[in-house]
Structure 1
Amino acid sequence: MSSSLLALSAALACGLVSVAAVLYLVVRPDETVAIERTRASVTRAFAEFRTVFGDAALRRAHAIAAAGASDVIPVDVEQHLAPTGLPRFRHRWAYLIRRDGTLAAAFPPDTRQVPAPLVSIIETFRTDPAAGRTRSRAEAALVDRAVPVHTEIVLIEQQPAVAALAPVGGASVGSAALTLVLATALDQTIVAEVGETAGVPNLRFETDPGQTRGPTHSQTDSRGRIVGWFGWDPPAEAHGPSWLWLLPVLGGLAFLGFAGLSLHQIRRAAGGLEQIEVELRRIAQEDPLTGMPNRRKIIAALGAALKARKPDESVAFVCLDLDAFKEVNEVLGHDIGDRLIAEASERLRAALPEAAEIGRIDGDEFAVVMTVRNGAAAVEAADTCARRLAVPFDIRDQTIHVTASVGLALAPRDGESAHELIRRADLAARSAKKAGRGRILAFHHGLEDEINERRFIEQELRHALADGVLSVFYQPIVAGDGLRMVGAEALVRWKHPVRGNIPPSVFVAVAEQAGLMIELGEFVLRRALADARDWPELFIAINLSPIQVRDRGLVRTVAGALGDSGIEPSRVVLEITEGVLIDNPEEAKQRLKELRGLGVKIALDDFGSGYSSLSYLRRLPIDKLKIDKEFVSPLGRSANGGVILQAIVALGRALGLSVLAEGVETEEQRLLLRLAGCDEMQGYLFARPMPASAFLDVTRRGIVLAGPPAADDGEDFVNGVDP
């Protein structure tokens, strides 16, 4: 009996081993399949991270383009290079790179050189427009952009990093005048995030092949060079004990009995992979802060709505841009700003019908897609949203007031493609914000006409500056007696070969937006100083725009122009407006001190029409006040006009400044200004602006009162480079 029991025990043991072997072989994933599956998951997760990071770069590029960045970078563009927002969107490096590979601006601000890998990428795109179009399957499943954004893994400062390259105001990387590059170090925080998304908790990234262990997945740049390897440790049970090679022999007889279990396990594994893919798609289409659809999903929803639209229906696309959100972030902090965005999203959800699709498409921008019967219904929905947002927010004991600038476009009236509607609604929103906060504006073709006109003026102005076809006119400035000429003001003029005379109020504004103000200002400065050499007894007044005053190279430019012309600096008066004091008064004060150190004089133009702080008048290094013509025009028609003007003259004298009145057009105004003690006058009563040759004739024969004449050939404006 004991032997029988022993045999039975042995048989049972053998059977148990066989069953265990079969179960192990069925349940254990094949090592090669498991590794390839993990590689696929890591690829998808890393592509999703690069896509989201690329979207962040594209939004920054749009903001920089809206700020007017071109060959010359406005100072306020630097704010768009600093890392802000949620941690996963923050970057470590930011570069604004010109087409030729030189650095226009950067973060950190002390960066002096563009990393060579980034220059190489941009050069590749410039010489081969098709570069970068081929993506992995994972990227292709997640990326669908109308504007190309290129993401790549590179080495920056000997560190692996993810770089996102987005064109600023151009069709593509390489063809745009500027390319924005945001880069974040591929540190363990990001690697852990990728690993969590991929379901690989022990994911790591190595750049030294000698440090890699276990399965790896190489990462290459656009030229196929390996930058590093993702690596991970496979589960211990994937290897099994060393004696398991015997188990297939022992379990062969039981294999068929467990075929069903094998099929079940395979189905479970496939179902798990499908769930991961569904979750990846959800993450790629959802805003992490609000849980709303992001830009990609909103674009898809708009496309679906356009396809499903019935003949008697319209599809509305509404852009809502929160006003003053930047100030909330700067003053109260990003935590409050994030809470504000979250609460604003809840209000918008409650304000709209359930059928409407609403999402967050940028930091402070929301978008709505809805099918409506007519345009009035779309405007009503937009108005409801704006009124809900205008109600004060109470966040952490802070009462916050915000409004929204709203733009909307309607299909088929304003376009039948998603791209057209988005662009036109965004244009309407920006125009609404420019016209005044808290406005709602429906797209109309006049908005595009304005954009096209600005582009035409910008292009023609670039040619005019390059070809030297602009001219400088001069308007005499007379002494307080109105009889003796003491100087002249330089005024830029542009006679277009087709359009004729284009007012400075038009082309100077375009120059400021297009980054041409520094070049235009230097042209006027050098031409005026060269012409003034023929008038040794007179001073020359030249306007400086706020953009010029903020330029760190201004003092060097003025010093160079003075040296080249040979004119005495004491004969030069540089006129600034009160606007230079608003953004950074201390920087403006230092810049003006440096200019006065060259020997030139400083005049405050249009006094009384803007900032006009007595505190800054005392502290600023200025020599002259120039009274705005708004205070001169009422003289003789209003009793208060004379009192106000006398007060301004008295203020100037109390501060030790000379006083000039502009816009003098009548003899009565001249007499009243003289009685008030005004030191100098300028206006049509004495002479209108004229070319340098005509002005030279006037200096030889003396000034003659001419009465108010017709406008000059260039049409007169108060000043030439700061209308």
Structure 2
Amino acid sequence: MLQPFAAKMTNAGSSARMFASTVVTLGCAFLLLMAAGIGVVIAITREANRLEAQRQAERVETAFNAQIRLNELRLQSLTATGELPDALQEDDPKVALQAAFKRLRGQLVDFDGAYIASARGIVLAGTETDTQLVRSGAEGLRHLEAFLRGAKEFPVSVAVGEELLPQFGTTRSTIVRDGDETLMLTVVDLSRVVPFSAASMPETLFLIAYRHISTSLLAELSDRYRVADIRLVSAQPGDRLNGLALRGPDGTASGWLSWTPARPGDVMLHRFLWALIAVALLFSAIFIFVVQRLRAAAGQIELRERQIQRLAGQDELSLLPNRRSFDLTLDQTLADLQRDGQGLAVMLIDLDRFKAVNDTYGHTAGDELIRQVAARLVSATQAGGTVARIGGDEFGIIQTQATPAGCTALAERILARLTEPFIVMGIEVTIGCSIGIAMAPRDGKDREMLLRLADTALYQSKNSGRNRFAFFETQMNRSLQLKRMVEDDLRRAIENDELTLHYQPQVSVDGSTVVGVEALVRWPHPVHGMIPPSDFIAIAEERGLIMPLSEWVLRRACIEARRWSGVRLAVNVSPIQFRHKDFVANVIRIIEETDFDPAQLELELTEGVLIEDADAAETAMMDIRAHGVGLALDDFGTGYSSLIYLRRFAFDKIKIDRSFLEYMEATGESAILVHSMAHLGRALGLRVCAEGVETAEQHRFLQAIGCHELQGFLFSKAVPAHEIDRLLGLDNPFAEVLIAA
């Protein structure tokens, strides 16, 4: 039963929650923006009303003070003209004052009334109405001297027409109540203009003019200073900015001026009301549009989330769970395993010959083959199992309630299904597979260990011939640990120059002359003794150590063979080393650094070097031959296309593989093949060398068929460099020094 990772990961509510959250956020932002806008407008409106009320109060106060100052200036002008002094020439002061007042009264047209009083408030000249005013309403003026103590001085001069008149006294204005009326009084000191002696008129005289604060006066002020509906009220207005106190001589309020305040903020609000409504409608339309767009975007996001979740846990090609989903499912299954105690098996499956199908028929055919393999694995898996694609041509199976017998039956069923022919793009192809099996809790209880052990079992099944399955066994783990140990020690041995070289002589066909030596690496391990190359070369290739190992062998061989003049040095080349992009450059560099004669060097290649990329191999071989290095085809006759290689690639020598000589009889098939290969090599102008010569009969046969060179235990096994010195007659005490150099 498949349990795709995407199905477990799907959470459709996340997009809805995100959408709702976004809408709520935008709604709150919209309301806050509208509230802020309304608040700003109201604040601006109130501030505009307040500022205008303050300006109106200042204008009303300025207007009233200006009216009072105008009254003072008018009264000053009348007393400064000289008419009053002329009228006061009578002998009797009272008669003179009455005469002067009558003349002066006709000129006080801007005032509602006037009278002359003493400092004690006694009216000396004036009408009955003026006298009554003093008695009933002007109680505060009875002591005029005290009232005028705080009076302001007249200006230095008073302008009357175009004439400047000198100052002559002080003046002060005040507000008094007369019943229901309020009066503006203007008082002038007449002490300097009255010619009476102190004996005849001991008191200071004052001219007092008054004017009612009437509706007409207030209307005139309202029009002149553009303040609406200035009026006199008896009580203080509710808004202090819309009222002005009229204070009497004793400082108390004799009345209040009030007016209708202008409210420009309200006018602005009324004017911009439709604009605010339009802005609100615009924002509402934008909000609705954004909500609709967000709803559509939420749908798109939810769809993409589902797609992403599906892709995150599903292999797009096979539609099986991918490696991530496989790991999570295995973790969950192992957690359940600890609770219910049932068995579990992990199978790792690697397809055999898939690369050949992919390279031969193309990637489209490879993809189709992967899909068909996935379908067959699903059909072969028992209920409760999970099938996943964990790599290019690698699959994994998690089988619950597993037993060894059940896993064996499942593995055999999978092998049978996958070895049946596949029809890919109308072509019948046949592949196979290798299976590694690890079981829990027998082999391990965590995911990483089970996968590692299953991979070890898979590696074992591949090495055992492919198209088979293998359960993990303890010795497999020991073998893996041994490989790791060899890897670590081999890396250290290369870095510390702890390896050594042995050389097997290649002799002339008569066996009398050493014409060449083949360098063979040996590893004198400090614990395990001498390790042959067959035990560590494959590990070096698998673990990425073949490049430093090959360069070490070539360098050391060139250094040691410099003293063997006239003897060819044969060095084996690994396919991995030969396919490296810097192979030719590295060989030439080592030759130059060791000062070795390139014509003395011969590199031995196998057919595996040429199969991967023939064009690149041909280019590299032409380049290396251009530097004078010789090339030999090793293990000749064991491959499929040796004749093609001999015709296409420029080799200098072929080496007949030892397997043809091992069971050779003089008249058998192997003898015929060896004879044919030697004849072919001679016909192509190549030197022919036979490996594995161990008997005199083989020597005589190879000599008879025309081989040029022989190599084998009959002549010498692989020996250290100083033994080669002895064979060549170079045995001397300085050999080791030369090697070290």
Q: Smaller-chain TM-score range? A: 0.5 to 0.7
Q: Does 1:366 find its partner at 2:360?
A: no
Of 454, 461, 465, 2:483 maps to 454
Amino acid at match of 1:242: V
Judge which range, 528-537 or 471-480, deviates more: 528-537
Structure 1 letter corresponding to 2:722: S
Match of 1:353 in 2: 382
Which string of whole-angstrom CA distances, capped at 9 and with x for unpartnered residues, describes residues 343-392 of structure 1? 33232222223322222223333222222352110121122123223222
Which segment is superposed worse, 668-677 or 326-335?
326-335
- Answering whether residue 327 of structure 2 is matched by residue 299 of structure 1, we say yes
Tell me how far apart the structure 2 counterparts of residues 553 and 412 of structure 1 sit (CA, whole Å). Answer: 49
Whether the 8 Å CA contact 1:323–1:404 is kept in 2: the answer is: yes
CA pair 660-419 structure 1, distance change in 2 beyond 3 A = same
Cα pair distance change 1:475/1:360, threshold 3 Å = closer
Structure 1 residues 409, 244: CA separation in 2 closer, same or farther (over 3 Å shift)?
A: same
> Equivalent residue for 2:439?
410
| Pairing partner for 1:514 from 523, 543, 546 | 543
Relative to structure 1, the CA distance from residue 474 to residue 389 in structure 2 (aligned partners, 3 Å threshold; closer, same or farther) is: closer
Alpha carbons of 1:298 and 1:576: their partners in 2 closer, same or farther (altered >3 Å)? closer
Describe the shift of the 1:297–1:592 C-alpha distance in structure 2 as closer, same or farther (beyond 3 A).
closer
Partner of 1:468: 497
What letter corresponds to residue 284 of structure 1 in structure 2? A
Aligned match of 1:692 in 715, 721, 724? 721
Q: Find the aligned partners of 1:327 and 1:562 in 2 and give their Cα distance.
A: 38
Is contact 1:543–1:575 with CA below 8 Å preserved after alignment?
yes
Are the structure 2 counterparts of residues 351 and 613 from structure 1 closer, same or farther at C-alpha, using a change threshold of 3 Å? same
Change (3 A) 1:348 1:636: closer
Q: Residues 327 and 689 (structure 1 numbering): CA distance in 2 closer, same or farther, change over 3 Å?
A: closer
User: Cα gap change, 1:411/1:675 in structure 2, threshold over 3 Å: closer, same or farther?
Assistant: same
Matches of 2:414 and 2:507, distance apart in 1:
58
Residues 254-286 of structure 1, C-alpha deviation per residue, up to 9 Å, x if partnerless?
xxxxxxxxxxxxxxx999999997776555333
Residue in 2 that maps onto 1:86: none
- In 1, the alpha carbon distance for the partners of 2:612 and 2:651 equals 18
Task: Find the aligned partners of 1:241 and 1:619 in 2 and give their Cα distance.
Answer: 88
* Shift of residue 315, structure 1, vs aligned partner: 0.7
Q: 2:386 touches 2:397 (CA, 8 Å); kept in 1?
A: yes
Give the equivalent residue in structure 2 for 1:399: 428
Corresponding letter in the other structure for 1:690? V
**For residues 676 and 647 of structure 1, what CA distance do their matches in structure 2 show?**
9
Secondary structure at the counterpart of residue 390 of structure 2: strand
Query: Letter of the aligned partner of 1:629 in structure 2?
Result: R
State how many pairs are aligned: 457
For residues 308-352 of structure 1, the C-alpha deviation after alignment (integer angstroms, 9 at most, x for no partner) is 337773111122223333344444344433333333323222222
> Partner of 2:154 in structure 1?
none
Residue from 23, 26, 31 that aligns with 1:29: 23
1:700 CA displacement: 0.8
Cα distance in 1 between the residues matched to 2:475 and 2:669 = 41
In 2, Cα distance between the equivalents of 1:408 and 1:669?
49
What's 1:97 paired with? none
Hey, what's the Cα distance between the residues in 2 that align with 1:362 and 1:34? Answer: 50
Equivalent residue letter for 2:280:
W
Kept after mapping to 2: 8 A contact 1:603/1:623: yes
Q: Which residue does the alignment assign to 1:43? A: none
Conserved 8 A contact 2:433-2:466: yes
1:388 to 392, 417, 430: 417
One of 607, 610, 625 as aligned partner of 1:578: 607
Residue 166 of structure 2 corresponds to: none
Kindly tell me: are residues 561 and 273 of structure 1, through their superposed partners in 2, closer, same or farther at Cα, counting changes over 3 Å?
closer
1:590 equivalent to 2:622? Answer no
1:483-522: CA deviations, max 9, x gaps?
A: 2222222111110111111110122212222222222222
Query: Percent identity of the aligned residues?
Result: 39
1:398-430 Cα deviation digits (max 9, x unpaired): 323232222211111111112222222233224
3-state DSSP of counterpart to 2:316: coil
Which letter does structure 2 place at the counterpart of 1:296?
A: R
How many Å separate the matches in 1 of 2:540 and 2:396?
32
Q: 1:38-49 counterparts in 2 under 5 A?
A: none
SS in 1 for 2:23: coil
Query: For residues 270 and 412 of structure 1, do their structure 2 counterparts lie closer, same or farther at Cα, with a shift above 3 Å needed?
Result: same
1:286 — aligned with what? 314
Residue 501 of structure 2 aligns to a residue whose secondary structure is strand
| Counterpart in the other structure of 1:243 | 280
SS class of match (1:494): strand
Runs of 5+ consecutive residues of structure 2 not aligned to the other structure: 1-19, 30-276, 285-296, 732-741
> Aligned in 2, Cα 1:424/1:517: closer, same or farther, shift over 3 Å?
same
Instruction: Provide the rounded CA distance (Å) in 2 between the counterparts of 1:324 and 1:416.
Output: 33
Q: What secondary structure sits across from 2:280 in the alignment? A: helix
Quick one: which of 546, 560, 563 aligns to 1:534?
563
Change (3 A) 1:331 1:612: closer
In 1, the alpha carbon distance for the partners of 2:518 and 2:428 equals 50
2:174 maps to what in 1?
Answer: none
Matched with 1:495 is 524
Asked whether 1:672 is paired with 2:701, we answer yes
Cα distance in structure 1, aligned partners of 2:340 and 2:481: 32
SS of 1:381 mapped into structure 2: helix
Give the whole-Å Cα distance in 2 for the aligned partners of 1:659 and 1:34.
93
Give the 3 Å change call, closer, same or farther, for CA 298–571 of structure 1 in structure 2.
closer
TM-superposed CA distance for 1:394, in Å, is 2.5
**Distance in 1 between residues matched to 2:632 and 2:444, nearest whole Å:** 51
Q: Which residue of 1 aligns with 2:598?
A: 569
Give the partner amino acid of 2:322. N
- Please give the alpha-carbon distance, in whole angstroms, between the structure 1 residues aligned to 2:24 and 2:701: 100
CA distance in 2 between counterparts of 1:373 and 1:685 reads 58
CA distance in 2, matches of 1:272, 1:701: 85
- Match for residue 625 of structure 1? 654
Quote the offset at 1:542 in angstroms.
1.7
2:451 alignment counterpart: 422
Partner of 1:82: none
Query: d(CA) in 2 for partners of 1:562 and 1:672?
Result: 38
- In 2, the alpha carbon distance for the partners of 1:603 and 1:270 equals 70
What code does the residue aligned with 1:30 have? V
Aligned-residue offset at 1:635: 3.5
Q: Distance in 1 between matches of 2:541 and 2:21?
A: 69
- Greater Cα radius of gyration, structure 1 or 2: 2
Question: 1:465–1:28: structure 2 CA closer, same or farther, 3 Å change rule?
Answer: closer
Give the counterpart letter for 1:352 in structure 2.
T
Post-superposition offset of 1:462: 1.3
CA contact 1:360–1:367 (8 Å) conserved in 2: yes
For residues 577-630 of structure 1, the C-alpha deviation after alignment (integer angstroms, 9 at most, x for no partner) is 222121112222221222221122211111112244212202211111111111
1:337 and 2:369 matched: no
SS at match of 2:408: helix
- Asked if 2 retains the 8 angstrom alpha-carbon contact of 1:635 and 1:672, the reply is no
Most deviating of 580-589 and 493-502: 580-589
- Compute the TM-score of the two structures, normalised by the length of structure 2: 0.56
- CA offsets 1:20-69 (integer angstroms, 9 cap, x no match): xxxxxx9992344899xxxxxxxxxxxxxxxxxxxxxxxxxxxxxxxxxx
Whether the 8 Å contact between 2:456 and 2:480 is mirrored in structure 1 is no
1:600 maps onto 2:629 in alignment: yes
Query: Residue 541 of structure 1 aligns to which amino acid in structure 2?
Result: A
